[in-house]
Amino acid sequence: MTDASLSPASTADAPICRLRMESIHKRFGATQALAGVDLEVSAGEVLALVGENGAGKSTLMKVLSGAYTPDEGRMWLDGQPYHPTDPMAARRAGVAMIYQELSLARHLSVMENIMLGIEPHRGPLMDWRKTRQIAADAMVQIGRPDIPLTIPVGRLSIAEQQLVEIARATALGSKVVVLDEPTSSLTSHDIAGLFRLIRRLRDQGHAIIYISHFLEEVRAISNRFVVLRDGRSVGGGITADAEIDRIISLMVGRKVEDLYPRSHHEPGEVLLTVRNLAGEKKPAKASLELHRGEVLGIAGLVGGGRTELLRAIFGLDAVAAGDVKVGVVTGGTASPAIRWRQGMGMLSEDRKVEGLAVGLSIADNLTLSRLGWLVRPSEIQAIARQWITKLNIRCAGPGQPVVDLSGGNQQKVAIARLLYHGVDILLLDEPTRGIDVGSKAEIYRLIDELAKTGKAVIVVSSYLPELMGICDRIAVMCRGHLHPAKATSTVTEESIMLEATGAAA
């Protein structure tokens, strides 16, 4: 399949073209965010939109949903010119966006959320009967009539909330449904459910645009894919025919020789011993030993207690039982302040909510854990400047607020904090979540280098190829229990998944 094959005409039964975007351009100040994107999606197909962070996916979707007006280019919906002036106009025209962050009113009921903004009414009065009926139909359409219509949405699980959002889209009679990183907070069980629903919507004749960083998901769910790079559509094709390596090289614009550089690590003495650690809810029971100069991976399902394990070790969450020994010092009560002093640092899985004070500058964030009684702004700026260079952080300068940086560069700031503090033990929770492939490769290289220079690293990740690529040993967490670590060479992705789902007893 060649890069030019963007047209769906190549599929067997020549379906109708639902949405067509042609030569879309958008400029913000000096930044050319979109420099000519072409895209077509047909009824009854799932189109995957892939690209690194900053490639222009979000901008493109904001143009599609009416949040931005393109500088150039044209769009058609079902053959009619389509130029939404605002997001509500786009919704009415039949384009529904399901964002990463759900946009539901937590205190309102399921049916109120589904009908939000399109409430049936008789004069000033709500027509509750019709509301209930349309909402119920929508839930049937997405295959989950079992979710009660009257309970507050906040009481549903994240996965169910997402379904409500999709039901809202179908209640509006959407023709095009855009899902932006829909699986980032789902368990693999929920992902399977979501995929069943996506196929169902597809078979009902919806056109689906699926945005994801996870190329395995792209392979599993999409019919075709389009790759964006630097604001241009640089390629695409039938997903089934495409090698993942080829998609990646289209995304980064160069051949990916080896994403996971792993040199020989020489494990030294034990730096961290965790014995029968239990938190108030999770983990239930976890023991591990971490050596100097090694990378230990912790695999498992989201919600299995991996994050909680790191938090308990680091003293962020209360410990109910068990102990943590750092070097030769046995625990006692732990707090993050004590752990930092003992030479341990933690990278949070959620940069915006916990990892970084995004309103503050790079320098402030980087030095936060290691400030002296007196702070000289020029000194912390100089320190930040050094790390900006060392980690190749792309920014305007050390005084720039972190919120202005891309995800990958934000993550580098968060990691630089650990390095500047000079910790020996690094607890990294999802260190490459939501960042582009180029930054991922840099972070993998950095982790490898840290291990080589005698640091001890724990990496928690939901992305198995990454764990297989960078870790010396991998331990699997299943329902709060941590299984013994095994050398990476002795495990496979399949064996890890079996352990993680509790199938391997």
Partner 1 sequence: MSDTPQGTTPAERRTTPRHFDLRRALTMLGPAIGLVAVCILFSVLRPRTFPTWANAQNIILHSVVVGVAAIGTTPVIISAGIDISIGATIAVVTVSVALFVNADLSPLLAALGGIGVGAACGLFNGTCITWLRLNPFIVTLGTFLAFRGVADELSHQQAVAANSTWLNNLMAPGEAPLLPWGVWILIILVILTALMLRYTRFGRHIFAIGSNEQTARLCGIAVNRTKLAIYVLAGAFSGVAGVLMFSNLTEGDPTTSANTPLTAIAAAVIGGASLTGGQGSIIGTVIGSVLIMTLRSGCTQLNFSQGGQEMLTGIIIILAVLLDRLRNPPEA
Site for partner 1, rule CB under 8 A? 29-31, 67, 316, 335-341, 346, 348, 353-360, 364-365, 368-369, 371-377, 382, 385-386, 388-391, 394-397, 400-401, 404, 417, 446, 449
Query: What is 311-372 written as a DSSP string?
Result: HHHHTSS-EEEEEEEETTEE-SS--HHHHHHTTEEEE-S-IIIII--TTSBHHHHHHGGG--
- Taking the complex as a whole, how short is the minimal distance between the CB of residue 400 and partner 1, in angstroms? 7
Question: For residue 58, what are its two tokens?
Answer: 């979000």
Question: Which CB atom, from 192 or from 382, has the smaller least distance to partner 1?
Answer: 382
Taking the complex as a whole, how short is the minimal distance between the CB of residue 228 and partner 1, in angstroms?
19
**Closest CB 262 distance from partner 1, rounded Å:** 17
Pick between residue 159 and residue 316 the one whose CB is nearest to partner 1. Answer: 316
In this structure, which amino acid lies at residue 174? S
Beta bridge partners of 72: 25
- Nearest distance from residue 449's CB to partner 1, in Å? 7
What are residue 273's phi and psi, to 5 degrees?
-125, 125
- If the CB atoms of residues 275 and 452 are measured against partner 1, the closer one turns out to be 452
C-beta closer to partner 1: residue 226 or 427: 427
Dihedral (CA of 192, 197, 200, 205) sign: negative
Strands 72-77 and 17-28 come out as antiparallel
Pick between residue 175 and residue 421 the one whose CB is nearest to partner 1.
421
Closest CA to 396 of 409, 383, 408, 407: 409
Least distance to partner 1 from the beta carbon of 379, Å?
11
Pick the closest to residue 131 from 141, 148, 118 (CA basis): 118
Virtual torsion, Cα 396, 400, 379, 384, nearest 10 deg: -70
The residue among 1 and 383 lying less far from partner 1, judged by its C-beta, is 383
Q: Which is nearer to partner 1, 147 or 316 (CB)?
A: 316
Whole-number Å distance between alpha carbons of 330 and 275:
11
H-helix or E-strand spanning residue 290: strand 286-291
Residue 270 Cβ, how far from partner 1 at the closest point, in Å?
Answer: 24
Residue environment code for 48-78, b if the CB has 16+ CB neighbours within 10 A, otherwise e: bbbbbbbbbbbbbbbbbbbebebeebebbbb
What's the min distance (Å) between Cβ of 101 and partner 1?
A: 10
